[in-house]
Chains A and B, each alone.
Chain A
Amino acid sequence: NAGVTQTPKFQVLKTGQSMTLQCAQDMNHEYMSWYRQDPGMGLRLIHYSVGAGITDQGEVPNGYNVSRSTTEDFPLRLLSAAPSQTSVYFCASSPAGLAGDDEQYFGPGTRLTVT
């Protein structure tokens, strides 16, 4: 299993540009999520999905869109990049069901800089 994969590893955008961060998992996990991590801070949840066709907002959803058309993929779209979106983005997945008793698997991250 490759686990959770993310592309690209690094990206530089100009203000106003749009792009999609890719996330895929091969563990047949129902639950997937996107986090961002700013310097010196913990992770903050952007969006999450409990299964194909179902998405919901997390703590900091503004400026981002997601969709979940398959179990494997959960792309994150930046609609109009802003310098405040400069961050490291992590995708995570976990098995379905009751969340308290499961573990999340994280991807290696995408480092995004918006100039």
Chain B
Amino acid sequence: DAKTTQPNSMESNEEEPVHLPCNHSTISGTDYIHWYRQLPSQGPEYVIHGLTSNVNNRMASLAIAEDRKSSTLILHRATLRDAAVYYCILRALYNTDKLIFGTGTRLQVFP
């Protein structure tokens, strides 16, 4: 499976936008880009995913580079509840067995 690289940690102030980067230079044409987050003492939670085009949902936006070698998760207005570890994961179209979680980015949000 292709690998992703994320910064270990990032900080933001409440109500400011947050851009969480992810590099995936070995991505293949059928790999979907998934983002999950894990709040303290909870299970991972799906955030968003996409293949080529930018995606928006109620939680976040996903911006995918034209060459697909990187992507950015955008939280438009950070809240204290957004403090979590964010995982960027590649998932092959026909890979039914697993999500490969790296160590993710720990986002701290300050009031």
Which residue numbers of A lie inside 8 Å of B, CB to CB?
A: 4, 31, 33, 35, 40-45, 48, 50, 56, 58-59, 90, 92, 98-101, 103-109
User: Which residue of chain A is the closest to B46 with respect to CB atoms?
Assistant: A103
Interface residue count on the B side (C-beta < 8 Å): 28
The distance from the CB of A38 to the nearest CB of chain B, in whole angstroms, is 11
A103 to B49, Cβ gap below 8 A? yes
A31 to B99, CA, bound (A): 12
B97 to A56, Cβ gap below 8 A? yes
Instruction: Determine the main DSSP class of B at the interface with A.
Output: loop
Residue in B32, B41, B96, B101 with the greatest tally of chain A CB atoms within 10 Å: B96
Total A-B Cβ pairs within 8 A: 71
- Chain B residues contacting A31 (CB-CB under 8 Å) are 96
Q: Which of B9-17, B64-72, B75-83, B85-93 contacts A (4 or more CB under 8 A)?
A: B85-93
A43 CB contact (under 8 Å) in B30, B49, B99: B99
B46 to A100, Cβ gap below 8 A? no
Which residue numbers of B lie inside 8 Å of A, CB to CB?
A: 30-32, 34, 36, 41-46, 49, 51, 87, 91-104
If A41-B103, A100-B31 touch, whether A107 touches B43 (CB-CB below 8 Å) is: yes
If A98-B93, A99-B93, A103-B46 touch, whether A58 touches B98 (CB-CB below 8 Å) is: yes
Nearest 8 Cβ contacts at the A-B interface: A42-B101, A106-B43, A100-B93, A103-B46, A100-B32, A45-B98, A43-B101, A99-B96
A108 to B43, Cβ gap below 8 A? yes
- Chain B residues contacting A48 (CB-CB under 8 Å) are 96-98
A106 to B44, Cβ gap below 8 A? yes
